[in-house]
């Protein structure tokens, strides 16, 4: 029996309806928040779950203040408010995710203990747990998380780290160091091809996504990984970034090892399947959540936001799935000289720009470190195609882009979670549409590769250079033009996103416009009706 096809417009309509419903269902919420000074060395902060009405929130806060002052005669009320928005630490406290301070979770909310002396805060939390065990069943003290967890909490309201922003010389040093190391390691890989070529070379006819003319080393990911690791270590060793943040970035690099290892294993052995690589990347995302707290807790979609904030395990799993999906999508578009690397340079530059706007030194320096590593790699990769980043480089790059997107959102409340998603719209949309096309239209496995991605259609339809020529120079010229189409098209949407990075509704509208533009161009190319003005003859430049 033939499987019934689901038309693309039905899927697109459903997606738009879900997004619109999520945005329209947003309503005001108010969180009772009180801070007490308990002695010279300890502050106690009470944060309750949201109330739908402001007056209800104020009444709850008044009752909490009276009860606390009745029990603690030496305590002094420092702050009492009804919050209409939570900062990153407050969201994590309320959702039960690990933070850098001890927290006692109660049935109605949480109590956080802050002190310049960690031991004092921890003991106060445990004492409160013992006192509340009979009055509030289920109350439990959670100790402060691992040291690296502060990486996702270093900025509160996007401003706290502004005075710790690296100097221009430090930022330039990060880019140059990463670029030089990547360039040199790539050079060594190319020069030693005779030694490792039988293991590392990418054949010219190994699958439907191969478009190069001569065997080429596909382990450029080694150079990118080496440059990234060295630049992150230099941030700490040379005091280019504050110690806590530099240490957290080091843990983030260590978290990336499973993602890189799975891809690199495929580059060398050709025996690591797609599912195994995905699972290793998911594991890397889980490690990043546990070690540095890089866990999504908001998407500006009320129903999903509640799940992310109430169920930490769900938030970690969702984040790992999203990061793994981004890594896989970057690997999918890595089919032409400079495409994945060039596109990622644009995304990293955009992330760095917004990080600079909100005063976030972590995302700024981490973006520039990877950007420098890619520049050194691209020197050899584009336009000559002397080396490829391979699955190892693609999965590492995708993991890093995904984690920086998560950190930018969880560290900075002003940044819409749809901003990094808009930056990554091309690989994400291409991957989602490919899954729909293979599964619902052709009845095949979603993991089965083919040659029907948008960048592959552009190669065959829009770039007309010696179509039937077997000349390697002709094939390379056709190969090189693809990145110009993709990056130029992506910039048409990334530039507006840079102006709208605070506004979720506008970014959602921009995302819908991207979907429409993508489907329009894809269908035109499939039907051989490409607009004449888009067709490139790409004249020889030799």
**Interval 126-178: pLDDT, tens:** 988 888 876 777 788 988 888 888 888 754 333 444 456 888 999 999 999 99
Q: Give SS3 for 240.
A: coil
- The torsion of the CA quartet 184, 188, 190, 193, rounded to 10 degrees, works out to -170
Q: Give the pLDDT of residue 446.
A: 65
Cβ(88)–Cβ(153) below 8 Å? yes
The position carrying tokens 């060039």 is: 342
pLDDT at 539: 47
Give per-residue pLDDT as tens, 206-263.
554 455 457 889 999 999 999 999 999 999 888 888 888 899 999 999 999 999 999 9
- pLDDT interval class at 447 (50, 70, 90): low
- Distance of alpha carbon 51 from alpha carbon 28, whole angstroms: 9
Q: pLDDT (tens digit, 9 = 90+) per residue, 322-359?
A: 999 999 999 999 888 999 999 999 999 999 999 999 98
Q: Which two tokens stand for residue 69?
A: 């002052």
Quick one: pLDDT band at residue 301, thresholds 50, 70, 90? Answer: confident
**The pLDDT of residue 203 is above 70:** no
Q: What percent of the chain stands above pLDDT 70?
A: 85
Contact 114, 144 (CB under 8 A): no
d(CA 497, CA 500): 5
pLDDT > 70? residue 61? yes
Q: What's the pLDDT band for 526 if we cut at 50, 70, 90?
A: confident
99/148 Cα distance (integer angstroms): 10
**The pLDDT of residue 540:** 45
Residue-by-residue DSSP string for 453-485:
SHHHHIIIIIB-SSTT---HHHHHHHHHHHHHH
In this structure, are residues 184 and 426 in contact, taking their beta carbons and an 8 Å threshold?
no
CB atoms within 10 A of CB 16: 16
More confident site: 441 or 200: 200
């Amino acid at each position: 029996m033939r499987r019934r096809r689901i038309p693309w417009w039905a899927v697109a309509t459903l997606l738009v309806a879900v997004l619109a419903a999520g945005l329209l269902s947003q309503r005001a919420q108010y969180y009772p928040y009180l801070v007490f000074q308990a002695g010279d060395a300890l502050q106690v902060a009470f944060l309750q779950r949201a109330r739908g009405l402001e007056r209800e929130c104020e009444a709850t806060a008044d009752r909490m203040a009276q009860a606390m002052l009745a029990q603690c005669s030496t305590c002094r009320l420092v702050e009492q408010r009804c919050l209409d928005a939570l900062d990153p630490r407050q969201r994590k406290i309320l959702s039960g995710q690990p933070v850098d301070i001890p927290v006692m979770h109660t049935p109605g909310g949480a109590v956080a203990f802050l002190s310049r002396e960690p031991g004092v805060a921890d003991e106060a939390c445990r004492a409160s747990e013992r006192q509340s065990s009979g009055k509030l069943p289920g109350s439990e003290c959670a100790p402060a998380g691992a040291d690296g967890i502060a990486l996702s909490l270093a900025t509160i309201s996007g401003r706290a780290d502004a005075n710790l922003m690296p100097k221009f010389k430090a930022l330039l040093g990060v880019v140059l160091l990463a670029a030089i190391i990547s360039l040199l390691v790539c050079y060594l890989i190319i020069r030693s091809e005779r030694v490792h070529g039988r293991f590392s070379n990418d054949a010219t006819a190994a699958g439907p996504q191969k478009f190069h003319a001569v065997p080429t080393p596909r382990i450029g990911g080694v150079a990118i990984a080496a440059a990234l690791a060295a630049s992150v270590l230099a941030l700490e060793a040379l005091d280019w970034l504050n110690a806590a943040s530099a240490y957290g970035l080091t843990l983030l690099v260590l978290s990336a090892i499973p993602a890189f290892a799975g891809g690199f294993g495929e580059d060398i052995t050709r025996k690591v399947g797609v599912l195994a690589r995905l699972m290793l990347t998911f594991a890397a995302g889980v490690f990043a959540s546990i070690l540095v707290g890089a866990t999504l807790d908001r998407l500006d979609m009320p129903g999903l936001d509640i799940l992310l904030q109430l169920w930490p395990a769900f938030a970690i799993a969702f984040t790992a799935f999203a990061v793994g999906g981004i890594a896989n999508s970057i690997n999918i578009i890595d089919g032409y000289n400079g495409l994945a690397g060039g596109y990622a340079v644009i995304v990293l530059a955009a992330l760095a720009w917004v990080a600079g706007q909100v005063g976030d030194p972590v995302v700024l320096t981490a973006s520039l470190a990877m950007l420098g590593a890619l520049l050194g790699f691209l020197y050899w990769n584009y336009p000559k195609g002397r080396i490829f980043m391979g699955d190892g480089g693609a999965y590492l790059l995708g993991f890093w882009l995904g984690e920086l997107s998560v950190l930018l959102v969880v560290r900075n409340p002003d940044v819409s979670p749809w901003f990094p998603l808009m930056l990554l719209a091309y690989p994400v949309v291409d991957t989602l549409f490919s899954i729909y096309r293979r599964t619902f239209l052709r009845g095949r496995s979603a993991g089965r590769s083919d040659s029907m991605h948008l960048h592959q259609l552009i190669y065959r339809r829009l770039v007309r250079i010696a179509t039937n020529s077997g000349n390697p120079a002709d094939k390379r010229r056709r190969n090189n033009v693809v990145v110009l189409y993709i990056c130029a098209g992506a910039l048409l949407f990334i530039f507006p996103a840079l102006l709208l990075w605070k506004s979720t509704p506008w970014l959602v509208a921009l995302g819908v416009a991207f979907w429409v533009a993508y489907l329009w161009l894809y269908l035109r190319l499939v039907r051989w009706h490409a607009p004449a003005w888009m067709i490139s003859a790409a004249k020889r430049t030799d």
